[in-house]
Amino acid sequence: MQIQLNVNGHPRQVDVEADAPLLWVIRDELNLTGTKFGCGVGACGACTVHVNGKPVRSCVLPVSAVVDTQVTTIEGIGTEALSAVQAAWILHQVPQCGYCQSGVIMAVSALLASNPTPTEEELGAVITNICRCGTYTRMRAAVSSLAANGARK
């Protein structure tokens, strides 16, 4: 069926089943490959995108659920200049293989938008993405530098 989407501020139309996973629609219909497949069961967070600014795991979300919403992928943030989260990720040299980081950056960006100064406990409770390279301590340092900036503003 024809489905109207709004992805990264642009209207897009795709012709897929209503229950096609949003992840694969984003990757293979819209050719936005920054969003990753990690587990297919919503357990690892590699596929995290924003729907109306809220983080969702797109591998378990049917595409029909995002009609009339604003979907944002990693390609839709920091388009003019790097976002603060992306810049902090570079400053703290967070990524190793980098595969999980699109999802992590989307999850962290959404968290900081609603809570600019998360405690370490809040961060751990909300950011449940898996990084097999083990970059967690650097994620923490990067978020804590952003939180310090947020607190000063």
Partner 1 sequence: MISRRRVLLGGAAAAGTLIVGYALWPSGRIRRADRLAAKTGERFLAYWIKIADDDIVTVVIPHCDMGTGIFTALLQMAAEELGADWDKTRAETAPPDPLFANGALVEGFALGQAGMTRDSVPAFLQGSVFAAGNRLAQFMDIQVTGGSSAVRTTGVYGVRIAAAAAREMLIAAAADRLKAPLKAFHSEGSRVIHKPSGQSFRFGELAAAASRYSPSSHPALKPRSEYTLVGKAIPRIDIPAKVNGATQYGIDVQVPGMQYAAIKISPIVGGKLISVNEASIAGNPGIEKIIKLDDAVIVVADRFWRAQRAAEALKTVFGDAGNAAVSSDSIREQQLKALNQDSIKHEFSLGKGAKALQNQAAIERLYQVPYLAHAAMEPVNATALRKADGTLEVWAGSQDGLGARAFCAKTAGLHLEQVIFHLMPSGGAFGRRLPGLWNFLAYAVQAAMALPGTPVKLIFTREQDLRHDYYRPNVSSRFKATLNADGTPAAWVNEYTTDNGSNAEAHIVYEVPNQAYGAVKVATPVPVGPWRSVEFSWHGFFVESFIDELAHEAKADPLEYRRALLRHKPRHLAALELAATKAGWGAPLAPARARGIAMVECFGTIVVHVAEVEVSDDGALKVHRITSAVDCGLAVNPDGFKAQIEGAIVFGLSAALYGEITLSKGAVEQQNFPNYPVVRLKDCPAIEVHIIESDAPFGGGGEPGTPPVAPAVTNAIFAAAGIRIRELPINKHALKRGA
Within 10 angstroms of residue 51's Cβ, the number of other Cβ atoms is 17
Contact set for partner 1, span 72-111 (CB under 8 A): 73-75, 77-78, 82, 86, 89-90, 93-102, 105
Q: Kindly state whether residue 139 participates in binding partner 1, applying the rule CB under 8 A.
A: yes
The residue from 47, 66, 111, 138 that contacts partner 1 (CB under 8 A) is 138
> CB burial class (10 A; 0-12, 13-18, 19+) of residue 9?
exposed
The residue from 4, 9, 18, 28 that contacts partner 1 (CB under 8 A) is 28
CB of 45 to partner 1, least distance (A): 9
For partner 1, the binding residues (CB under 8 A) are 16-17, 20-21, 24, 27-28, 31-41, 43-44, 46, 73-75, 77-78, 82, 86, 89-90, 93-102, 105, 121, 123-125, 127-140
